[in-house]
């Protein structure tokens, strides 16, 4: 259902279908993430109901929904914290400071993305914010090849991957579903994410240097 919503939105943007048509709006509404997930839960309850009593279903739902409540709370708090940081202008301040340092563009992209990732937890926000901040610099920089742009994108993505910690919803999802405490999650998930980001950036940096030579 979510995929259908995305597909219809893409087709409407491409003018392949009428985006204002009633049937398109109905299907897209059903494919909105909260609606689609609610329908999924209701269908799951009906399917699993079978010969179970209402008391059995209540116990089943309590057992299924209970563990995710803490994760939902942390995710919402992390999103709110990220919104406060974005409203405070931390992204523009970071970009201005790193731009004034006159460092290579690919290194600045990685550091800005990393700083935003650590500050507010969301990889998506770090990606999109860094891309928006660097767009004007990339446009004004001459001589960038397609490979340079590809390596720049990889650097941004790697920066948004590293140092997943307590303000990242993914950190709590992994920790809670694998039944690990915070220290163990930091020693495993955080280290793994950091290695992925740093090694990926190293490859991008080497590739960028080779292309430049």
Helices of type H across the chain = 2-13, 22-30, 33-49, 54-87, 90-100, 105-120, 123-140, 146-159, 169-177, 182-185, 191-212
* Per-residue model confidence (pLDDT) at position 96: 65
* Per-residue model confidence (pLDDT) at position 172: 79
* Per-residue model confidence (pLDDT) at position 59: 83
* Per-residue model confidence (pLDDT) at position 95: 60
Crossing angle of helices 2-13 and 22-30, in 10° steps, is 140
Q: Calculate Rg over the CA atoms of the chain.
A: 22
**Per-residue pLDDT in tens (0 to 9) along the chain, 213 residues:** 999 999 998 898 888 888 888 988 999 999 998 899 899 988 888 888 777 888 888 888 887 777 677 667 766 665 676 667 667 766 566 666 666 666 788 888 898 889 888 877 778 778 887 887 777 777 777 777 888 889 989 999 999 899 888 878 788 778 877 888 888 989 999 999 999 999 999 999 998 888 777
* Per-residue model confidence (pLDDT) at position 201: 93
Crossing angle of helices 123-140 and 146-159, in 10° steps, is 150
Residues 6+ away with beta carbon under 8 Å from 97 = none
* Per-residue model confidence (pLDDT) at position 81: 65
CA distance 178 to 173: 8
* Per-residue model confidence (pLDDT) at position 94: 64
């Amino acid at each position: 259902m979510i995929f259908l919503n995305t597909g219809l939105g893409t087709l409407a943007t491409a003018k392949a279908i009428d985006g204002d048509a009633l049937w398109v709006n109905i299907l897209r509404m059903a494919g909105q993430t909260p609606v689609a997930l609610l329908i999924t839960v209701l269908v799951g309850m009906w399917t699993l109901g079978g010969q179970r009593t209402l008391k059995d279903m209540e116990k089943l739902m309590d057992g299924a929904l209970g563990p995710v409540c803490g994760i939902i709370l942390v995710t919402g708090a992390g999103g709110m914290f990220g919104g406060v940081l974005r409203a405070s202008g931390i992204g523009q301040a970071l970009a201005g400071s790193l731009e004034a340092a006159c460092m290579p563009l690919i290194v600045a992209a990685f550091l800005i993305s990393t700083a935003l990732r650590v500050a507010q937890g969301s990889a998506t926000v770090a990606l999109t914010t860094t891309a928006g901040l660097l767009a004007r610099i990339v446009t004004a920089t001459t001589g960038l090849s397609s490979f340079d742009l590809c390596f720049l994108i990889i650097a941004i993505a790697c920066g948004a991957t590293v140092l997943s910690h307590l303000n990242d919803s993914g950190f709590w999802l992994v920790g809670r579903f694998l039944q690990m405490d915070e220290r163990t999650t930091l020693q495993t998930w955080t280290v793994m994410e950091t290695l992925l980001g740093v090694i990926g950036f190293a490859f991008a940096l080497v590739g960028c240097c080779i292309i430049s030579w």
